[in-house]
Structure 1
Amino acid sequence: MAKPPGSTSIAVDKTEREPLYRQLFARSGFGFAALDTEGRIIEANATFLRLFAAASVDDLPVFDACVSPKDRSIIAYAMHPKLPEQAPWEIRFQRPDGTEFWVLASFIAPPALPGDDASPAMIVQAIDVDERKRNALELAEREARWNHALESAGQGVWDHDFSRGDLFYSRQWRTIRGLQPDDPIDASLETWIQSVHPDDRAHVIAHIQKQETGQTPFSIFAYRERHKDGHWVWIESRGAVVEYGEDGKPSRIAGTDTDITERKEAEERLAQMSRRLELALDVSRIGVFEVNLRTNEVQWDDRMVEMYGLTEEPNATTWERALHPQDRHKAMARVDEGIFIGRDFANEFRIVRGDGEIRHLRGRSAPYIDTTGVPRLIGANWDVTDDVELQEELTHAKELAEARAGELEAAKARIEYTALHDHLTGLPNRRYLDATIQEAARQAQESGSRLAVLHIDLDRFKEINDTLGHLAGDQMLVHAASVLRELKGPGDFVARIGGDEFVFLSSGPNGRNLSVLAEAIVEAMRKPVTFNGHICRFGASVGIASQSGAAIDAKQLLVNADLALYRAKNRGRSRHEFFTSDFQAQIIVNKQTADEILSGIEQGRFLPYYQPQFCARTLDIFGVETLARWDHPTRGILAPDAFLKIAEDLDCVATIDRIVLEKSLADFAEWQSLGLGIGKISANVSSKRLHDPELGRSLRALKIAPQSLSFELLESIFLDDCDRTVLENLAEMRKLGIDIEIDDFGTGHASIVSLMKLSPRRLKIDRQLVKPVNRSPAQRKLVGTIVEIGRSLNIQVVAEGVETPAHVAIMRDLGCDILQGYALARPMPAHAVPDFVRQEEWRMETGNVRDLQNEVRRAVNR
């Protein structure tokens, strides 16, 4: 490289005054170089030249090229003339051959001397630190590599320098315990041991003491320590003494901690699995063996030895010798084949135990190559003697069963037929019907066709049973079954479901005319049947319900047909009725009414209304008839015709009668205290209540005053239902002083003998007979006759339905004793009775006697 103009070498004339920097260059052991303003090296001492292996300055490039490209950006900053004084810079220089070396460089801008044009612009001082720097970098790299290895291995480093009191814990050591880098650590044994699992503290302290006393220069132990989050972490600690003090005791111990929680958990799982496997093998009595196929060495577990009945250690020929002679060839061939093809295989054979007992065994084996390349065979045997003997017994039993298959099949068919058919008529029974209707419903749903149910009940069947006996009844049932069979079509099904009830199913895409079918059944059942010379006549009522398509509900169809049958019977029998939406709506209304009746009973909403009764001669009040009313929460006061039929179905009429009677007796007691002159009350009593054996006891509990209460009985009750219970209840009523009245007399078929037998206190002429007396002489004559009959039997006669003053006069003139009707008083609640009695308005409404007589004469002369 050519020198710039005006450059000088280090060698100068001694006589000339030498600049200070040149003296420094010559005397210093450091490398120095002087740079001009262009960054060219104009002078350099020998030390600097040696750094670059250069003979002279001419061999050096510009200074910028002497710096490694990696650090040139640093040089631009470090050589800035206005930069304050800095510490030396650690940078890399680059020789002409490209090799790099580390130096400690300082940059000095010397002050310019007056008249000295040759002063350098910058002086560079360089100290060779390459070896030291490279050693430091290598050490740092080794340390980083070691740290990375420990981190990747999950090992935390700890270092206890007791001589300096320095305790070090690496980042991974903290991570294992869930600690942050800046979390404080109390390393005292007393504090730290509290974080160790209680079961592990003793052996941890023992290991630490051995380390600190120098008993063991190196130790490994595992323990559980509580994680910062609260769970336990398994840690394997490895420690070693690295320095000893002057007293010969360890002064510094270092080591690593490794998180082995996963390994411990895996070991526990493996141990549990091993225990379960061992238990399973023990319980199942399965023996395990292994054979070295290269050396024929065998290993049998205790269960195998016990299974084969051995008294000595098994060897390569033990199994073959134990095989039953008849099974030896086949069993060994199976083993050879499995080993040859290299797949697991099953085997079954007999062995002869050491005690001579023959046992049946099964086995499963698999060949494999172990990690050392040795071929082996592992397998298991288990004793199946009991299974084989059981199978033989079962096979023998099966052979016996097959020998009797025909007989069993016939018996099964008979049993199934009996279970599904009625023994009397031979028709399917209810069980068969339930299965059939479900299947028929499913098919109809899929095809979209109709399914109809006809519920048939025989009329007057009970009369035939009662009069001619059960044999006659059975014959009628057989006849009815034959009638239904004749009417059954290809898609129909007929069943007897009990008693005198039958069900007829009709289904299919075409469908039958149900009305025509029902009429045919009714007509066929009406025809007389002869039994032992007697002509038996009965009929049938039919309830019909049908549905089609996806809406079919088999169970609901049966219910609907039953409801339709109930309506047919109520409408006169020997007829058919369809279940309709209106019928369903009425059922819903009746159900709602039934619920309301029951609620009304619970809430006490049934109460008495009273219609006064009057002496026919004086028109003085005689008593009151108690009438049941329902105080409905939304419909107001309702008469019995609004609820009586449903109440009868609910079997709660007797309850309502009792409630009304108790309330009326309380009202009567109050009227007595007011002195109203009401002599008695009368109340209706139902046939159901007359048949109640507890009626007498309940009446005695009411403490009824004698002759203050009358019970009105319908005419039909004492003619049709006078059984022993009824007669006993009537006798009890008389004992209690309760009068008996016959209600609605003249509408039934009472006889003089019946009246004499019952001996009622009064009889009431029905309003249907009283109403026409003001315009019909024949009717007046009839009523007069009834009055005469009553007088002759000493029975008072009550006329009800007295609606006009004419009725009042006529019935009095005919000799009636008591009058009751709208002409005199309408039914009223209890609270209205006192005012009505005191005001006597009925007298003004009926007029004086003369007016009544004139009206009677006009009525008679019409």
Structure 2
Amino acid sequence: MLRLAGEYDGMVTAPKLDAMTGLARIPRAGSALVRLLDATPIGMILACEDGRIIYANRAFAAVMGYRWSEAAPLNVFDLVHPDNRSDARLHFDRLARGETDQYRGEHRWHHADGTVLWVMVAATLFEDRPGAPRQLIIQITSIELQKKAEEALAYSESRWNFALESARQGVWDHDIRNDTMFYSRMWRVMRGIPPEEEVDGDQQRWLERVHPEDRPHILANVDRQDMGDSDFDALEYRERKRDGSYVWILSRGRPVEWDAEGNPIRTIGTDTDITRLKVMEQELAAEKERLRVTLEAMADGMISTDLNGQVVFMNPAAEKLTGLRASLAVGRAVSDVFRLRSERDDGELPCPVRACLDSATQIKADDDSVLCAHDGPQRDIRCTASPVMSENGELSGAVLVFQDVTQSRALQRQLAHSAAHDDLTGLPNRAAFERALSDAIAAARHGAREHCLVYLDLDHFKPVNDTAGHAAGDALLRQVAQTIKGVCRSHDMAARIGGDEFAVILEDCPISNGRQVAEKIVRAIGALVFSWAGREYQIGASAGVTVIGGTPASPLGFMGEADAACYAAKAQGRSRVVAFPDMG
């Protein structure tokens, strides 16, 4: 809520609104915008179209006595004096309907100590991008001194002139009957004119000092000010000073005398130097534009959320990767916008933003995360959710940055596959087989499980290679590899471990079953009829089988046992299976 800036804990009659996170609703510019607002010496409010205050800077607290807190913000209209509230709503509604691009007006507002303070209100409505929620930037300037000075006009010209001088307000007085102008000393000082120098009040001479870009606006509206148009009593323009530089002027004025027919015959007003404010506005706009260009140029997707995990901002890269427009994503739970699943088991993965908000720490997801886009495609992604902390160290939201790593992850999978597989046959290579054998031995040793190891060596392969050539030999090896895979179960490990040598690990398979599988493989290879260049070739295979248990049955080790059994099979006439240690 808005509270007093000092020790005084006065009461504000305006009702509190429901809690909402303010800073997270500031679009795109985020903390940079807040820092710029806080650096502004003018009271600044950022509000929704309906008047709900999203953020108020330090200068506002200094002027109105309130300190900003996001826990329970107020509504702008709750601070306006009841006598001015309907008029303020009328002008803000015109601004929202686009009937004017800015509004300036004078209102009485409630100060935190219970008093009523006259303020100058300047409001503009901006849209961060097409379709985004529009928001109000409201500038608050105390004009209590000016108001008191205007009241003093009724008593003494010297008295109000002294008050305005103290407030550094230049005064002008336009007598419409004879088209003459009076300018106060401060009016001259702010333009670099010597205080006592006479100034030609001719309008054309004044227009020559006005910046060329501002003249059309001045010409179109200066008469409205003179005539007391209630919708237009302030002009902003640049005027050239004596040293050639320009000063930004806010000129407020209204008629104070009328003729018998009710026509204004005298208008009095004050000029304020708002150069510093305009410089801050330009810096704010430039910073906002730099942030916009930076965010739109990022190749990585970025989603910003509030404390409740609802999306408040998405950059174009995030729109492309998620397949959802920002206009449809803002306000939705980030878990509905950023949907992840596991590449390994296809199960749904939690959105890292929730864990980030719960722990107030950075959360990374870069292993097997797959982003399910709303427009169909699925992409491998790497993402990081980081907490966003306010200046007082409190958690205010999170930022999720993610990138498409589909190509790099596919390359990693391809490299991993190549490192573990035989290029010719596509079967696992010897290195992969040895790792699988070590895992099988460990499982047998610690889990009281029993596996079988089959060692295969082709018979009569060399004549094919020598007669038909290496291309034929390679084709035959590929055919043999597919034959072996076709006999084995899907979870068995079949590998090429040498030129014409193959090995198979049969998981959870007793020796009797292992021998039967080996015999099926030998028969299948013996049944192959290989044709090449119009000639048919027939080969065979010899196999040795051993049990993978807690320890090898001999010092040869499991591979040595299977190899010895295969050698015995060849010695017994080839194309047969021998089990270790029964090699007789």
Q: TM-score, normalised by structure 1?
A: 0.26
Point out the structure with max Rg over C-alpha. Answer: 1
TM-score by length of 2: 0.38
